[in-house]
Amino acid sequence: MVQSAVLGFPRMGANRELKKATEAYWGGKLSQAELLNEAKRLRLAHWKIQKDAGVDVIPSNDFALYDQVLCHIQDFGAVPERYTKDGLDAVDQYFAMGRGHQKEGVDVPSLEMVKWFDSNYHYVKPTLQDNQTFKLVDSPKAVVEFKEAKDAGIHTRPVLVGPVSFLHLGKADRGQSVDPIDLLDKLLPVYEKLLVQLKEAGADTVQIDEPVLVFDLPAKSKGAFKPTYERFARLGDKIPKLVFTTYFGDIVHNLDVLPKDVYGVHIDLVRNPEQLDAVLSALGPKTVLSAGVVDGRNIWKTNMKSAIEKVESAIQKLGKDRVVVATSSSLLHTPHTLASEKKLDAEIADWFSFACEKAVEIAVIAKAVTEGPTSVREQLEANAKSMQSRATSTRTNDPTVKERQSKVTEQDHNRKSEFATRISSQQKKLNLPLFPTTTIGSFPQTKEIRAQRTKLTKGEISTAEYDQFIEQEIQENVKIQEELGLDVFVHGEPERNDMVQYFGERLDGYAFTTHAWVQSYGSRCVRPPIIVGDISRPAPMTVKESKYAVSVSKKPMKGMLTGPVTCLRWSFPRDDVHQSVQAQQLALALRDEVVDLEKAGIDVIQVDEPALREGLPLRSGKERDAYLDWAVKAFKLSTSGVEDSTQIHSHFCYSEFQDFFHAIAALDADVLSIENSKSDAKLLRVFVDSAYPRHIGPGVYDIHSPRVPSEQEIKDRIEEMLQYLKPEQLWIDPDCGLKTRQWKETKEALTNMVNAARFYRAKY
């Protein structure tokens, strides 16, 4: 019998209950016991959903209050001393690592958080010491949650991040020089102990995630797989059977280190179906293949016919007992359930499948290959019908858009003049001081803003009333920026629910949802719009608000747009046309918006591309080059319609540009603002090495945490930056937008920032 397996389930709940509970806990409105109870209730509900869907292998320990990697950091005793020394309890210590802690005399910033592979999920980086030791906690979460499910009558397969991935994804703490992978021998006993405990608790299999196998690995990390899994194999029956799990890429280039003596190997056959044959020939003689055929990263209904074909071809080689049908990755990256979408057009809704629906798909596919297609004939027929409907619908195809795309020329991608010419005509207009200060765009999205938006959606206030409210907010934001003494203002984005969704709702070719939230980091969720067809802009999207902002402000006002690549990456993209085509359509729509903003008197326009890097194919080579080529072109196409005197900014939420700096430089943006407060200022060296001529604003403080940086901390940061950047190049800004912050900390932090900038202005 072919079993069905889910690799992980979204944690938030159908109505983002987990978000609400954790935020209430942080705000002192929910007790710790209540939070933990709610988490428990959600886990149970999610296991039950999968069980009812007919899934055979249900995951446990896929849950996390903040992030699954962070849970491992804590359970392995790898918590840096700064979080343990103040005697916080385990839960608060965990959240302190995730989001910083500044309360009752404790003041500690969070650990670094970075993108999980090429997804928009962020994990907390294991941050290790030269003299690092590991020790398994008394009640490891994996064991506790396995037992919790067992007590509820649900047998689960615990999920662990594997040791090689845990270390490879980690880093040395500031001031430390350890190469994390060198800690393997110290870490493995902890895994062994944990696996033994899981076995004793009754787990027969464990999903051990080693997704780093899809990377181009340095020799040391690659070499770590063999000894690790041989060591586990020697424990024989003392530990559960291991399913060695990879996703988000192919593992063909690393097959020489694929363990032969594990019980199972999971591969992603949605992303890389072509790896099947090579992996099949590299499997150990008894190893089971877990075939990831239902997409854990997108919302399209699975094409059952082609999924079944993939599984059948594995079965032909291995037999039914050695194949498992699975989701390609954890379903963490998909929304909870399509059932919550009451407003979606029926035609379109029929093309989608979210986590709950995917669980059913997995079970149906397993049944189809076990008992034959007639056993699920009705489901297969309905599925074929939706596939047919989407392929032939007029909603997916707009001839006007295609016509315009065919006319794009090379010249459309370039600004009129070189940077040197541009910056002098910009400076004439803007008259900015040395070390100009600005922010990245959004200001706190207060309760009041959200309440007004909800009222508008519910029809409790009119559009005119809402617009007036937004104007007041903008006016207030301008006033605050005047008081703070910032140099380039923003309108604060109060009208935007989200930087991509907002645009999606104003573009043709998009569908949007009401409940399709996906976790981005911690309690933060995003609701990506869905690209269903060819994209175009029926009307200006941001001009009204920016124009109003200019009218009430004496300082230069930045217009704020989300770039084409980010719109694409943070939407659920189509899987029926190439992403480069979708990016170009978005770029053309944005180009019109940029030109309209310029016409409305906006002299500075920021086009954010924080998602550019996450789209980077995980391995270097042809695929990566092709991506960078079309991604850079899309950005340039969107920003090149303006005069020299209009200043184009772009923003990135990271500063690790090493492996694709040429692409960042090729964007030709007049000013780049980047994350830098949590990274090493050394990363700025690439700008020096390449004699980067344009302006740069490396973030001077972390905005993911409510913690207020002192003026001195910011000065220290600027001092470090000045080792790499010229004073006339340097802008002073925070790491990212401030929408998730409260006003109090925002004002305090920006005051310190402006004072630090003034200090340097006086000095130079």
| 201 CB burial (10 A radius; 0-12, 13-18, 19+) | middle
CB of 737 vs ligand GLN, minimal distance in Å: 2
Pick the closer one to ligand GLN by CB: 323 or 700: 700
- Among Zn ion, ligand GLN, none, residue 699 binds (CB under 5-8 Å by kind): none
| Shortest distance, position 64 Cβ to Zn ion, whole Å | 23
Which segment (166-174, 570-578, 580-588, 731-739) binds Zn ion by CB under 5 A?
731-739
Residue 747 CA to residue 640 CA, distance in Å, equals: 35
Q: Which is nearer to ligand GLN, 215 or 570 (CB)?
A: 570
With CA atoms as reference, report the closest residue to 355 among 291, 305, 301, 289.
301
114 binds Zn ion (CB under 5 A): no
Task: Find out whether 266 and 214 touch, Cβ atoms under 8 Å.
Answer: no
Chain centre distance of CA 526: 9
Count of C-beta atoms within a 10 Å radius of residue 656? 16
Please report how close the Cβ of residue 579 comes to ligand GLN at its closest, in angstroms.
20
Q: Which residues contact 371 (CB under 8 A, 6 or more apart)?
A: none
Q: What, of Zn ion, ligand GLN, none, does residue 556 touch, CB below 5 to 8 Å by kind?
A: none
Beta-carbon contacts of 139 under 8 Å, excluding residues fewer than 6 positions away, are none
Contact residues: ligand GLN, CB under 6 A: 440-442, 499, 560, 608, 610, 651, 653, 736-737, 739
Which of Zn ion, ligand GLN, none lies near 190, with the C-beta cut-off 5 to 8 A by kind? none
> Could you write out the DSSP letters of every residue in 313-345?
HHHHHH-GGGEEEEESS-GGGS-S-GGG--SS-
Query: Which of the choices Zn ion, ligand GLN, none does residue 268 contact, using the CB cut-off of 5 to 8 A by kind?
Result: none
* Cβ distance to ligand GLN smaller for residue 114 or 653: 653
Cα radius of gyration (the chain): 26
499 binds, among ligand GLN, Zn ion, none (CB under 5 to 8 A by kind): ligand GLN
Shortest spacing between CB 298 and ligand GLN, in angstroms:
21
Question: In terms of CB distance, is 119 or 585 closer to Zn ion?
Answer: 119
Q: Distance (Å, rounded) from C-alpha 759 to C-alpha 754?
A: 9
Residue in the shown chain whose Cβ atom is closest to Zn ion:
736
> In angstroms, what is the minimal distance from the CB of 569 to ligand GLN?
11
3-state helix, strand, coil in the chain (%, to 5): 50, 15, 35
Q: Which residues are paired to 640 by β-bridges?
A: none
| Token couple for 485 | 């003494």
> Is 704 noted as a catalytic residue in this protein?
yes
Using a 10 angstrom Cβ sphere, with 0-12 exposed, 13-18 middle and 19 or more buried, the burial of residue 695 is: buried
Query: Under the criterion CB under 5 A, does residue 736 sit at the interface with Zn ion?
Result: yes
Residue 507 binding target from Zn ion, ligand GLN, none, CB below 5 to 8 Å by type? none
Long-range Cβ contact pairs of 96-105 (< 8 A, separation 24 or more) = 97/70, 97/73, 97/124, 98/66, 98/67, 98/70, 98/124, 98/522, 99/26, 99/66, 99/522, 99/704, 99/705, 99/706, 100/702, 100/704, 100/705, 100/706, 100/707, 101/707, 102/705, 102/706, 102/707, 102/708
Pick one of Zn ion, ligand GLN, none as the site partner of residue 749 (Cβ within 5 to 8 A by kind).
none
Q: Which stretch binds Zn ion (CB under 5 A): 32-40, 252-260, 290-298, 728-736?
A: 728-736
The least CB distance from residue 72 to Zn ion, in Å, is 26
Q: Between residues 441 and 641, which has the closer beta carbon with respect to ligand GLN?
A: 441
Rounded to the nearest angstrom, the gap between the alpha carbon of residue 511 and the centroid of all alpha carbons in its chain is 20
C-beta closer to ligand GLN: residue 63 or 654: 654
Round to whole Å and give the CA distance between 213 and 217.
Answer: 7
Residue placing its CB nearer to ligand GLN in the complex, 271 or 547:
547
Kindly identify the residues of this chain, within the stretch 643-662, that bind Zn ion according to CB under 5 A. Answer: 653
The residue among 729, 670, 678, 728 whose CA lies nearest residue 700 is 678
Residue showing the smallest CB distance to ligand GLN in the complex: 737
| φ, ψ of residue 102 in degrees (nearest 5) | -140, 85
C-beta closer to Zn ion: residue 50 or 673: 673
Least distance (Å) between residue 497 CB and Zn ion: 17
- Which residues touch 395 (CB under 8 Å, ≥6 apart)? 347, 348, 532, 533
Smallest separation (angstroms) from Zn ion to the CB of 735 = 7
| Cβ-based nearer residue to Zn ion, 58 or 653 | 653
- Number of C-beta neighbours around residue 451 at 10 A: 12
Euclidean distance between CA atoms 615 and 244, whole angstroms:
25
Q: Is 292 in the site for Zn ion (CB under 5 A)?
A: no
User: Least distance in Å: CB of 491 to ligand GLN?
Assistant: 11
Contact between residue 192 and residue 235 where contact means Cβ atoms under 8 Å apart = yes
Dist CA 377 CA 364 (whole Å): 10
441 binds, among ligand GLN, Zn ion, none (CB under 5 to 8 A by kind): ligand GLN
Q: Is 698 in the site for Zn ion (CB under 5 A)?
A: no
How many residues sit in the footprint of Zn ion (CB under 5 A)? 3
- Shortest distance in whole angstroms from residue 498 CB to ligand GLN: 9
The runs of H, that is alpha helices, within 54-136 are: 68-75, 81-84, 90-99
**Residue closer to ligand GLN (CB basis): 141 or 569:** 569
Nearer to ligand GLN, 356 or 449 (CB): 449
- Least gap, CB of 441 to ligand GLN (angstroms): 3
Beta bridge partners of 172: 128
Exactly one of 266, 491, 651, 704 is catalytic; name it: 704
* Residue 661 burial class via C-beta count within 10 angstroms: exposed 0-12, middle 13-18, buried 19 and up: middle
Binding partner of residue 73 among Zn ion, ligand GLN, none, CB cut-off 5 to 8 Å per kind: none
Identity of the residue numbered 291: A
Q: Is residue 610 close enough to count as binding Zn ion by CB under 5 A?
A: yes
* The entry of ligand GLN, Zn ion, none that residue 282 binds, CB within 5 to 8 Å by partner kind: none
Partner that binds at residue 739, options Zn ion, ligand GLN, none, CB closer than 5 to 8 Å by kind: ligand GLN
Which residues are marked as active site? 704
Binding site for Zn ion (CB under 5 A): 610, 653, 736
